[in-house]
C-alpha cells in the first residue's frame, strides 16, 4: 500500500509510519503550552525526528474538547517560524500541517510541507482542490460536531459503521475534486465526538476501516479514553497509549500519531512483525 505525499512516497505495506506531534499552542490538552514558543517547538520537532519519527504533524490550534477556533492568521503566525526553521535546518524532514483551514494549508504547502491533516475532512471550501493541485498527502478524519461541541453527549447506533460510511463518502468527495487515491489516508477520529465506549469500539474494529483500502491513521496518544479507564492524567498515559497503539497496528493502522516517538517506535515495530506473521508478509 502506497501513501504519496508530494515527492515523498511511503510504502506502508509492512512498516507503519510514526508521526510525531508538535503542538505550537498555548492550550493543548497534553502538554499545556510547553512548545508554544517557536524556539521550543523547533527544538522539540528536531528531537522527535532524532527519536525516529517518519514525519511531523505541526498544529497551531488546540482541538481538545471545548476548544474554540483559532483564525487563519493566528495559526500561521504560530506555524510560520517553525515550518521555516525545519525547512532550513532539516530540509529532508517530511512535514504535515494539522489544520482544517484552506488558507493555512496553502501557506504551509507553499513553504514545502507535504501533508494536510484535515480533522474537518474537507469542510472548508477549496481544501480538496488545493490538495489535488499540489499533490499533497491528505488525512481525512471523522468528527461529530466541532471541538467546541463534539463531546456533548455523542450518540451512534453503530459507531464503526457510521464512521466507515462517513470516511468512504469523504474519500469519494476528495477523489471527485481530483485528489489522487494514493494521496489519501483516513482517520476514525478516536476521541473526537465519541464517548469512551465508542473510542474502544473503533480501535477494536479497526480492521473494518482498513477494508476501505486507504492507509488508516490513528491518534490514540494520551487520549482521555485511556486516562478515564486507568484514572491517570495526560502525562501518565504512556503505557496505555502504547498498548492501544500496538493493537491498532495489529488490526491495520498504517500511520500512528504520537507525542512519544521514542517509546512508541519499538512497540510499533513489534506490532508490525506480529501483523506480518499473521498475514504471511515479510516484515520490514
Is-catalytic flag, 144? no
Is-catalytic flag, 46? no
Of the residues 106, 194, 222, 223, only one is catalytic, namely: 223
Give the separation between CA 5 and CA 229, rounded to whole angstroms: 36
Give the separation between CA 28 and CA 234, rounded to whole angstroms: 11
DSSP state of 57: E
Contact 166, 207 (CB under 8 A): no
Contact 163, 142 (CB under 8 A): yes
- State the DSSP string of 128-180: HHHHHHHT-EEEEE--SS-TTTTTSS---SSHHHHHHHHHHHHHHHHHHTT--
Of the residues 222, 257, 269, 275, only one is catalytic, namely: 257
- Alpha carbon separation from 190 to 22, 202, 226 (Å, rounded): 19, 7, 11
Taken in order 142, 172, 122, 90, is the CA torsion positive or negative?
positive
Residues marked active site are found at 223, 257
Amino acid at each position: 500500500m502506497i501513501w504519496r505525499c508530494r515527492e515523498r512516497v511511503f510504502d506502508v505495506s509492512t512498516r507503519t509510519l510514526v508521526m510525531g506531534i508538535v503542538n505550537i499552542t498555548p492550550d493543548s490538552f497534553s502538554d499545556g503550552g510547553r512548545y508554544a514558543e517557536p524556539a521550543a517547538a523547533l527544538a522539540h520537532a528536531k528531537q522527535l525526528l532524532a527519536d525516529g519519527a517518519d514525519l511531523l504533524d505541526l498544529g497551531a490550534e488546540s482541538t481538545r474538547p471545548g476548544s474554540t477556533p483559532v483564525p487563519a492568521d493566528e495559526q500561521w503566525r504560530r506555524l510560520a517560524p517553525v515550518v521555516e526553521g525545519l525547512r532550513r535546518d532539516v530540509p529532508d524532514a517530511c512535514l504535515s500541517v494539522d489544520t482544517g483551514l484552506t488558507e493555512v494549508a496553502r501557506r504551509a504547502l507553499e513553504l514545502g510541507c507535504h501533508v494536510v491533516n484535515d480533522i474537518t475532512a474537507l469542510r472548508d471550501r477549496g481544501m480538496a482542490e488545493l490538495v489535488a493541485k499540489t499533490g499533497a498527502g491528505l488525512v481525512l478524519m471523522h468528527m461529530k460536531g466541532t471541538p467546541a461541541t463534539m463531546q456533548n453527549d455523542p450518540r451512534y447506533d453503530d459507531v464503526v459503521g457510521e464512521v466507515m460510511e462517513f470516511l468512504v463518502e469523504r474519500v469519494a468527495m476528495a477523489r471527485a475534486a481530483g485528489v489522487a487515491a494514493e494521496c489519501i489516508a483516513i482517520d476514525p477520529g478516536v476521541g473526537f465526538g465519541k464517548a469512551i465506549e465508542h473510542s474502544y469500539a473503533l480501535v477494536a474494529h479497526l480492521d473494518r476501516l482498513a477494508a476501505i483500502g486507504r492507509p488508516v491513521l490513528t491518534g490514540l496518544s494520551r487520549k482521555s479514553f485511556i486516562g478515564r479507564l486507568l484514572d491517570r492524567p495526560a502525562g501518565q498515559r504512556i503505557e496505555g497509549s502504547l498498548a492501544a497503539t500496538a493493537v491498532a497496528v495489529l488490526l491495520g493502522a498504517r500511520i500512528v500519531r504520537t507525542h512519544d516517538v521514542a517509546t512508541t517506535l519499538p512497540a510499533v515495530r513489534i506490532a508490525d512483525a506480529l501483523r506480518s506473521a499473521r498475514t504471511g508478509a515479510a516484515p520490514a
